[in-house]
Structure 1
């Protein structure tokens, strides 16, 4: 049991190092050696846990999107009203300048390849299914509470909510300004409310 735990900890250390390497240098510049350097281990250790750079990156994308989905779902579940759930969802997505910058630098690299690499496409689809489930929960509750437009379909509206969130975060990333992060979050919240509200 102890050996298994150490093995899992080492895998997580390598995944975290891969994330740091991607955030710092970008997809094309990352190799097993740069991942090993960031992890403070030999290239052989990385190769022991992962057959290739691609294997590391597939697991990294799965780990990252799973972590974000879990965090956003937990934040929404703590709230009891549609307004509270929506605010919690957007606040959770706007995790902070440093976290958002690192994640979106890495995530945009993956998205650029998702149309050609089936594994990335599948992971991304599962991530957006999770996002759609959160958005649909918020919308449906708001419709029951009478604060969101009843005619809106969760199937077609839920993806738009995430599109607004990601769009605002990508636009913020392009500004390069930490000071603007809160303003983009607030604008995103206002835009989603405008989309949903009566």
Structure 2
């Protein structure tokens, strides 16, 4: 009965090693031997568990997406009131230096996988929907309490926030703007589309 547990541990080890190599080298440059060396196994051992390395990348993407969403949900769940929650929605989607930047870089590296793999398609849709739900619920809460006067329906706004996050995140990752500037731009948008001055970047 121990073999499945050992296999699960080995897969987790390979996912961790692949994630590190993807962040450091990028999806276009990472090699099977790099992943094997990072995991301290042979290339044949990697192929034993993942005969197609793309399947390993899909699992890296799934783990990264789940951890990213879980952290956003935690931070937003700690906020009280619609304004505080919306500010938390924004802040938790910013590419701050450290873990947020590392995770964002990893997920962007793997987006091409999501375009070509059916399993990754589903993971990407769930990843997007899970984040959109955080914005949508918060916007609807504010509209219900009268704190927000929404410019367009909450579902549309939620997806617009995510589209803006993606665009600004790329600017941060390539050094075009800072994380602080990304947050300011998103909060300015939030203020405009909700009519709440408490969302001003200077508030």
Q: TM-score, structure 1 length as denominator?
A: 0.85
**Cα distance, 1:43 vs structure 2:** 2.0
Q: Kindly state the Cα deviation for residue 173 of structure 1 after the two structures are TM-superposed.
A: 1.2
Partner of 1:186: 184
CA contact (8 A) 2:150 2:195 kept: no
Query: SS at the partner of 1:97?
Result: coil
Change (3 A) 1:36 1:176: farther
**Alpha-carbon distance in structure 2 between the residues aligned to 1:192 and 1:9:** 43
Report deviation, 1:35. 1.1
Alignment correspondent of 2:152: 152
Q: Distance in 1 between matches of 2:172 and 2:101?
A: 9
Aligned residue in 1 for 2:21: 21
RMSD over equivalenced CA pairs, Å: 2.4
* Counterparts of residues 1-198 of structure 1 (less than 5 Å): 5-94=5-94, 96-150=96-150, 152-175=152-175, 180-197=178-195
| Residues 84 and 46 of structure 1: CA distance in aligned 2, closer, same or farther (over 3 Å) | same
Deviation at 1:30, TM superposition (A): 2.1
Gaps of 5+ in 1: none
Distance 1:4 1:96, change over 3 A: farther
Paired with 1:113 and 1:158, the residues of 2 have a C-alpha distance of 25
Q: TM-score, normalised by structure 2?
A: 0.83
State the distance in 2 between where 1:6 and 1:90 align: 40
Q: Please tell me whether the aligned partners of residues 164 and 192 of structure 1 are also in contact (alpha carbons under 8 angstroms).
A: no
Structure 1 residue 190 displacement after superposition? 2.5
Q: Deviations over 1:112-147 (max 9, x none)?
A: 343333332221111001011111011011112212
The runs of 5 or more residues in structure 2 that have no matched partner are: 197-203
More helix by share: 1
Aligned in 2, Cα 1:42/1:191: closer, same or farther, shift over 3 Å? same
Displacement of 1:175: 1.2
- Find the residue that maps to 1:128 and give its secondary structure: helix
Q: Distance between the aligned counterparts of 2:134 and 2:56, measured in 1?
A: 28
Provide the aligned length of Structure 1 versus Structure 2.
Answer: 196
Shift of the 176–100 alpha-carbon distance from structure 1 to 2, 3 Å rule, reads farther
Report the Cα offset of residue 2 of structure 1.
6.5
Per the alignment, do residues 3 and 196 of structure 1 end up closer, same or farther by CA in structure 2, a change over 3 Å counting?
Answer: farther
For the residue of structure 1 that corresponds to 2:28, the secondary structure is helix
Q: Tell me the distance in 2 between the aligned counterparts of 1:176 and 1:97.
A: 14
CA displacement at 1:151 relative to structure 2: 5.7
